[in-house]
Amino acid sequence: MHFKHYYKLFNECSVSIPIRIKKWKEHFPNSFLDWRRNFIKIYQITKDNKLRQFLFKILHRIIITKKELKKFNNGTDDHCNLCSGRDSIMHTFLECNVSISVFSSTIKWFNDIHQLNMSPSAEQILFNLTDEIASLSPIQKCRVDLLLLLMKQYVYSCKILSKNPNIF
């Protein structure tokens, strides 16, 4: 055998999980996400490049929050602008009372419009996992994906601008 054969065998045998996916698995240990599908879904949800970049940043955990700013000595505190809890990516999208109310009122509005009783989990909201919601038609899944992505971007931009989100 030549060296290139050993190299090929080594590359086939050594599979490493990216650090960002390991971090998400710490928060969602029972999750069996198909990460390839999630990264491909970035390009299926919308054609808008800013929204694609935003979802890419969420999946790669490179969204800037006050926690990261303080970590790199660019911020004075790590408290949320909206609820004064400790800021992080998880807090911004899943734990902040303001963002929870934005998501719940948006989902309630969508359910009222489409006569549904959908209640996505935190993981489904964060990663746009509408494929797992059986009660939705394909067009409704596309709409929910885009709606959740827009709501995440809206909450994040309100947080950056220190504005209180106003939905209805």
Q: C-alpha distances in angstroms, 69 versus 18, 78, 79, 113?
A: 23, 8, 11, 40
Q: Average pLDDT in the 77-95 region? A: 89
How much is the average pLDDT of 137-153? Answer: 93
For residue 65, the tally of other CB atoms under 10 A from its CB is 21
Predicted pLDDT at 92: 92
> How far apart are alpha carbons 70 and 77 in whole angstroms?
6
Using CA atoms, how far apart are residues 9 and 107, in angstroms rounded to an integer? Answer: 49
pLDDT, tens only, 34-53: 788 888 889 999 999 999 99
Q: What is the mean pLDDT of residues 12-34?
A: 77
Q: Is 50 or 8 the better-scoring residue by pLDDT?
A: 50
Map tokens 């899944």 to a residue.
141
pLDDT in tens, 93-117: 999 999 999 999 999 999 999 999 9
